[in-house]
Chain A
Amino acid sequence: MNLALRDIRHDLSRFALTAVGLGLLLTVVLAMTGIYNGIIVDATALPASLQADLWIVQRDTRGPFAELSRLPAELEDRALAVPGVARARSYVAHTIQRELPDGRPLRFTAVGLSWPVDGGESIPLIEGRPLEQAHYEVIVDESLGLQLGERIRLARDMYTVVGVTKGILASAGDAVAFFTRADAQSIQYDQSSEAIRLDRKARTQRIRESWLGNDPEFVRFAETATGLIPAIAPAPVSAVMINVAPGASIEIVKQRLATWKDISVYSQEDQNELILGGIVEKTRKQIGLFRALLVVISTILMSLIIYTMTVDKLHSIALLKLLGAKQTVILGMILQEALLLGAIAYTIAIGVGHYAFERFPRRVILENEHMLMLALLVLAISSIASAIGMKKALAADPNEVLAG
């Protein structure tokens, strides 16, 4: 006769309610674990998608993700001249918030690719293709809610969605959209006609008032488009991504580049450490702490529940002792109830998580090892909790039954 099952059956609704409550608590533990993992994967998804061996950034900055970095655009060409460098691509990024025609906000981080060297071939797409034109094509993250083939107006131009990624986010959690660098910058520097006119006028005025203003040729030049003036540098880039030639050592190329006085060089791992140690460090710690707290709460709660379940049965346990029940029968009953409670709560947590986590706004990543970890945790908690209950059960005095 299984006493554990009969005890549970006798007050099934109480047991079920307890199991559901514990299950939901474990769901939160699981969610926290998944969110924690998600933060790490999300934070490094963008640099990972670009598959660079080395990152060149402005000297002594921790850019381009953890900190702002500015480099002259021609650094790309300088880097290409270094032995062992097979490919150099510029990286530019900035956050843009616009409105769709229907009024929905459209917020994303625009990343510029070095077209034609890089059309986004390294980016993992779930749909579509990399960029194939110098202009007016974009790869977006699915979290932006745009469909493949959809056309959106940005600045003065219409862009077509040609590729869709999943889970590529910038550090603030915004979806990333990949453009060619020229497009990204034209969106970034988009100004109204009036602003451009006023800008040129101000520039002409400054020239007129300086000693250069004596030369009418200078004044005429100042009135032309910014891009046509050779003295004004093209827009800076945030970083230059380096891929080394097959067979070349990343470490050696890094040392070569590090001798340049105007830049700092990071490997992909350095970059991940900067991101995890900087941007998401506090979030990560906070969620880690919260998760630890939840585990402690679950342990206490479960111990308390199993302890109470045992205390409620002390009279029956004393009776069982009088009837000559073996210790294994009594302890087995307590352990089985604890394990069953744990197992049901765990199943509820996994089940609820399976349906709920997809709907979370940020990514929840759970691997089998995390499920296994939770299972072991529940097993440990159940065992600890039942050990406390067993201690109480062993102390149950048959004399108390006589006392009525």
Chain B
Amino acid sequence: MSERSIAVLARKVSKHYGEGNTYVRALGETDFELMSGEVVALLGPSGSGKSTLLTILGLINEPDGGDLEIGGQVVIRAGEFVGNTNQVRRRELGFVFQRSNLIPFLTAEENVRLVLELDGVGKRIARQRSREMLETLGVGDRGAHYPVELSGGQQQRVAIARALIHEPALVLADEPTASLDKQRGRQVMELFRSAARERGAGVLVVTHDHRSLDLVDRTLEIEDGFLIAGGVALGPEGRSGERSSPTVRP
């Protein structure tokens, strides 16, 4: 496992939608940090601001204000994107969604390899690494298949392979196991966690699935746009969060 460093550091990021009557404060001024190799669950009811936080950390939406560093690099300053956002996406970010993660006209192996090739890695090396990555996630024999030819669990494994192949600082996952049954969901989460740790990626995973919470290092709860509960160490290298409070577990 790689040396621990801060993967993400967010300070006072906030976000609202709409004006006047339609004004919604989706995210209050939020501080947030994540260590490399750390897997953090983000819990909260629907409409609490989970996706909003994810899109800001993923450089999809600009916040109203605040600063953000990813992998030691300042990417948002005073609510504005700075630097080469696209390059940060290519090198430091990975995404896993609930479904339709993959480009349908590329094979599993091509979906993974694409990430490396987009950043200029040579085809031969990219192919080699993609195969190894798929192997790690237990879908090494599915490389030549198109996404429609894969089961839901296989698709998510390929998506995780793609999110980690380039060893990003941060992987954002929005309910990656929601479409899977309990057993497969746990399997995928376990693979996800160990692969992320191995590559030193910090993972923020939005989940409703309390059944896999024992697999994460820390949980965060969000309500009405505010983080109200910090993480408690649950994993083998458990640590205490700064704003530590007991994690609510069902």
Contacts and interface: CB of A to CB of B under 8 A. Distances in A.
Given A11-B105, A316-B104, A324-B89, A6 B110 contact: yes
B118 A402 contact: no
A375 B86 CA distance: 37
A329 B103 CA distance: 15
Contacts of A322: 58, 60, 89, 95
B146 A10 contact: yes
A320 B102 CA distance: 10
A187 to B, nearest CB: 71
Contacts of A323: 89-90, 95, 114-115, 118
- Identify which of B55, B88, B103 gathers the most chain A CB atoms within 10 Å of its CB: B103
A320 B58 CA distance: 14
A398 B60 contact: yes
Contacts of B101: 319
A74 to B, nearest CB: 82
Main secondary structure of the interface of A (DSSP, over half): helix
A10 B144 CA distance: 12
A7 B106 CA distance: 7
Give the size range of B's interface with the partner: 20 to 34
Nearest to A7: B105
A1 B113 contact: yes
A261 interface: no
A325 interface: yes
- Identify which of A3, A315, A319, A401 gathers the most chain B CB atoms within 10 Å of its CB: A319
Contacts of A7: 105
Interface string B40-56: 00000000000100110
Interface of B: 51, 54-55, 58, 60-61, 86-91, 93, 95, 97-106, 110, 113-115, 117-119, 123, 146, 174
Interface of A: 1, 3, 6-7, 9-11, 313, 315-316, 319-320, 322-326, 329, 398-399, 401-402, 404
Given A315-B100, A322-B95, 10 more contacts: A3-B105, A3-B106, A6-B105, A10-B106, A313-B105, A323-B89, A324-B87, A324-B93, A402-B174, A404-B99
In the A-B complex, list the 7 residue pairs whose CB atoms are closest, starting with the nearest: A324-B89, A324-B90, A10-B105, A7-B105, A316-B103, A324-B86, A398-B60
